[in-house]
Amino acid sequence: MEDNSEYNCTVINAEKYTFWYKGDMFHRLSGPACEFANGAKLYFQNGMLHRLDGPAVIYANANRYWFIDNRKYSEADFLKEIANKGK
């Protein structure tokens, strides 16, 4: 376990996964907070699934899911929500 002071996070590296934590919550601002050896990636901020520039959940089988503040969206609704936030 190492302290990543740039994000005030703890990074846990293991053979099959890497997790970034802030306190006891998954958290990372610059990329996925959970990365798995099979290619799956989960984006969290402050313990919530969250990503504004793409899917927050990307599975190795290519399934993708979009979340903003832990709320799940279809891809079409996600794009509408992001467009509305830019207004």
Quote the domain boundaries for residue 59: 2-79
The answer to whether residue 86 is domain-embedded is: no
Matching residue, tokens 């799956």: 40
The answer to whether residue 16 is domain-embedded is: yes
The answer to whether residue 84 is domain-embedded is: no
pLDDT tens column, 53-82 = 999 999 999 999 999 999 999 999 999 999
Domain total of the chain? 1
Q: What confidence score (pLDDT) does residue 9 get? A: 64
The answer to whether residue 87 is domain-embedded is: no
Of the candidate ranges 10-14, 18-22, 46-50, the one whose mean pLDDT is the lowest: 10-14
Average pLDDT over residues 36-63: 96
Which residues pair with residue 78 across a beta bridge? none
Q: Is the pLDDT score of 47 beyond 60?
A: yes
Which residues pair with residue 53 across a beta bridge? none
Which residues pair with residue 49 across a beta bridge? 44
The answer to whether residue 71 is domain-embedded is: yes
**For residue 37, how many other CB atoms are within 10 A of its CB?**
11
Full-model pTM: 0.85
**Pairing of the two strands 2-4 and 34-36:** unpaired
The answer to whether residue 18 is domain-embedded is: yes
Q: What confidence score (pLDDT) does residue 7 get? A: 52
> Which of 17, 22, 85 is closest to 51 using CA atoms?
85
The answer to whether residue 40 is domain-embedded is: yes
